[in-house]
Chains A and B, each alone.
Chain A
Amino acid sequence: MTESLQSAPGPFFGEFGGQFVPEALMAALDELTDAYEKARIDPSFTEELVRLARDYTGRPSIITDVPRFAKHAGGARVLLKREDLNHTGSHKINNVLGQALLTKRIGKTRVIAETGAGQHGVATATAAALMDLECVIYMGEEDTERQALNVARMRLLGAEVIPVATGTRTLRDAINEAFRDWVANVDHTNYVFGTAAGPHPFPAMVRDFQRIISVESRAQMLDLGGLPDAVVACIGGGSNAIGSFDAFLDDTDVRLIGCEAAGDGVETGRHAATLTGGRPGILHGSRSFILQDEEGQTLPSHSISAGLDYPGVGPEHTWLASIGRAEYWPVTDADAMDAFRLLTRTEGIMPAIESSHALAGAIRLGNELGPDATVLVTLSGRGDKDVEQAARWFDMLPKEDA
């Protein structure tokens, strides 16, 4: 490879990406792109971001060797990049602090965001509290039910949470509603997009803010003796995955594997494995793979994990798949939940259900590669929010009297 694949600027990644949005939003996207291009090379911005990462988020996040878990992964060495230890409990804070700072910089006073599992909503509400911004979070009604605790967290932080009852009542509808809000309020509102999808500049900007994951982990691996054989991350829209991959993109010996939510199994049609089961189209402002019917209507997705339950995927991932630089594996609900329990029981670390998809991928990969392999897994979030859902899955809740 002669040219670096890292930090690709957009708006297009190969044939994917772009800005397929109403004209009303074009001026705001141009303004945001312009502000971000200036901010990313302005020391007053980048230094403040570094300071927040250190003093607020708690970075750098550590790497944890998990040998008892790894016994079940073919004896390969498995290391976890601990984004679950960040303030607010997931990688989402990395992106949100950057976008909230940018919001202040362009003089807007209100932020809106979509959220699936609630992690991005909680992170946005947190940054809004920190930086004195009005905050409105859109969340699919089904997700407010399965992630009730995070709804309460957002409200405690001072955010308004609006359950979205249209369509499939999940993340995709929350994004639709956030776009509608943005069109109407763009003069004073910034949309803090949670994943590396959507129209330019979001895929590249969110990737840049999440890139710290792989910048740190690559250096940490070198300190431990060398680069891993593979980096594994879960992928819905793809922000933790692209952040986990970016600094490794030019290390051609390092396999990059994104684990998509296969729900009940890709063959059942009840899944959210966009790169496995989708095809090119436009959704939420960019050209990428999407789950759609033959006419182009978006199909409902399904996953036990609200954060991965999305029928689209970020355009840079689609590009990396198309050029063969990254692989995308489907992981079922059942395999993810087995991995959830395994890590919890063997290491005393309770992962988010989203991240458990990556753990399941690591088990599969470790068994494929054997004991000489080293696998770095991004643990994108912690499982506190998932306790009730996991307890229900494993039938651990007290039975109600008949």
Chain B
Amino acid sequence: MSALTDRLAEVRAEGRAALIGYLPVGYPTVEASVEAMRVLVDAGCDIVEVGPPYSDPVLDGPVIQHAAAIALEGGVKVDDAFTAVEAVAQAGAVPVVMSYCNLMIQRGYERFAQELKAAGGAGVITPDLTPDTGQDWIAAARAEDVDTIFLAAPSTTRERMHLTVGASRGFVYATSLMGVTGERASVGSAAERVVVEARAAGAEFVCVGLGVSTGVQAADVAAYADGVIVGSAFVKALGDHGDMEALRIKVQELAAGVRGQS
């Protein structure tokens, strides 16, 4: 068990899905992004994904690319992500980090895991690292009792699903569609199939991300997943000027959604 699985089990016991909010640290400024993460927690996120911005985010759509570029121009550092992790933990949600792997490799997997743990972080989602090439990371994370959260996609084969589920701790991140992050008119039917296949492969908790931006969509996904992951919609609400009230309203909408109140 871990802080993540404990929280997901509590949420399941409440008969609902968890709301997992993503924000890149440093957007629009480091200070505002940390404040925004507190807003996520206060307005109903159970788990917060802190994203250290990366120069070449190949799995991100325009909204998060734009936010990352602004954060990098503002001089954000990986250290700032750990600061944000601490703030999320203090605010009462479970913090995880979602990071492209080169940032972790340059810091050193061991040091990355240690610093995350020291800041109160529970796990790391790795969008461009799969269990195949992630063995060193998995070893470093296990040594610090940090959860390794890998992605499963609609294209994931049965064999790869077993690999992915077997290497994941905390939860499995099911991507709802083939594509990059960003809002979509509908989440589509592939998501439920990925969740079902991940469970069949032995996953205890499966959370769905990519394309969820409304309370109605969150309610739909909450019907079959353990958690609903929302990123771009929150980034867009926050905006270049750090609109905390707009963000709060959006989070509340999604938080009602995962409770089936949309």
A residues whose Cβ falls under 8 Å from a Cβ of B: 18-28, 30, 166-167, 172, 176, 179-180, 183-187, 281-285, 290, 292, 294-298
Contact = CB atoms under 8 A, between A and B. Distances in A.
Nearest to A184: B179
B99 to A, nearest CB: 10
B103 interface: yes
Given A19-B130, A176-B58, A298-B56, A282 B105 contact: yes
Contact of B58 (A180, A292, A297): A180
B150 A167 contact: no
Interface string B146-173: 0000111111110010001000000000
Interface string B168-190: 00000001001110000000000
B58 A22 contact: yes
A282 B78 CA distance: 16
A296 B106 contact: yes
B133 A179 contact: no
Given A281-B106, A296-B106, A187 B178 contact: yes
B56 A167 contact: yes
Nearest to B179: A184
B133 A22 contact: no
Interface of B: 54-59, 61, 65, 69, 72, 77-78, 101-107, 127-130, 132-133, 150-157, 160, 164, 175, 178-180
Contacts of A185: 178
B178 A183 contact: yes
A27 B155 contact: yes
A295 B128 contact: no
Q: Interface residues of B: mostly helix, strand, loop or mixed?
A: loop
B160 A27 contact: yes
Contacts of A176: 56-58
A250 to B, nearest CB: 29
Given A23-B151, A184-B180, A282-B102, A297 B128 contact: no
B178 A184 contact: yes
Contacts of B54: 296-297
B59 A27 contact: no
A22 B103 contact: no
B128 A282 contact: yes
A296 B103 contact: yes
Contact of A22 (B77, B104, B107, B151): B151
Contacts of B157: 27, 30
Contacts of A284: 56, 58
6 contacts: A21-B128, A23-B160, A25-B155, A27-B156, A167-B55, A292-B102
Closest CB pairs A-B (n = 5): A296-B106, A24-B153, A184-B179, A297-B55, A296-B102
Contacts of A166: 65, 69
B179 A183 contact: yes
Nearest to B130: A23
A294 to B, nearest CB: 7
Contacts of B101: 20, 282
A23 B56 contact: no
B156 A23 contact: yes
Contacts of A21: 58, 128, 130
Contact of B127 (A22, A167, A298): A22
Contact of B180 (A28, A180, A292, A295): A180
A26 B130 contact: yes
A297 B72 CA distance: 9
A214 to B, nearest CB: 30
Given A21-B58, A26-B156, A176-B56, 20 more contacts: A19-B133, A23-B164, A24-B151, A24-B155, A167-B69, A176-B57, A183-B180, A184-B179, A186-B155, A282-B128, A283-B56, A285-B128, A290-B102, A295-B106, A296-B103, A296-B104, A296-B106, A296-B107, A297-B54, A298-B55
A296 to B, nearest CB: 3
A293 to B, nearest CB: 9
Contacts of B155: 23-28, 186-187
A166 B178 CA distance: 22
B77 A295 contact: yes
A20 B69 contact: no
Contacts of A298: 55-56, 102
Contact of A20 (B133, B150, B179): B133
Given A26-B156, A184-B180, A281 B105 contact: yes
A22 B153 contact: yes
Nearest to B155: A27
A24 B175 contact: yes
B105 A296 contact: yes
A292 B54 CA distance: 11
B61 A180 contact: yes
B58 A179 contact: yes
Nearest to B134: A20
Contact of A294 (B59, B104, B106, B179): B106
Contacts of A292: 102, 106
B152 to A, nearest CB: 6
B138 to A, nearest CB: 14
Contacts of A23: 130, 150-153, 155-156, 160, 164, 175
